[in-house]
Amino acid sequence: MKKKIFISFLVIFLIICILCIILKLYYMNKEKEEIIEILEDNIAFQVYVDNAYDDIDKIEKQISEINGIKSIEFHSKEQVLEEMKKTLGADGDLLDVYEGENNIFPNSFIIKIEISNLDDIENIDNIEKELLDIEGIDDINSNYDSWVNVYEDYGIDGLRQYLDMLNIASEGDSEKLEEYFEQNEDAEELLRY
The tens digit of pLDDT for each residue in 11-37 reads 787 888 888 788 777 777 788 888 888
Choose the weakest-confidence range: 4-18, 42-56, 165-179: 4-18
Q: What domains are defined for the chain?
A: 44-142 (3.30.70.3040)
Phi, psi torsion values for 46, nearest 5 degrees: -105, 115
Instruction: List, for residues 100-131, the tens digit of each pLDDT value.
Output: 999 999 999 999 988 888 777 778 888 999 99
Q: Is the pTM of this model over 0.85?
A: no
Which alpha helices (H) appear in 67-143, and where do they start and end?
A: 77-88, 124-132
Other C-beta atoms lying within 10 Å of the C-beta of residue 122:
9
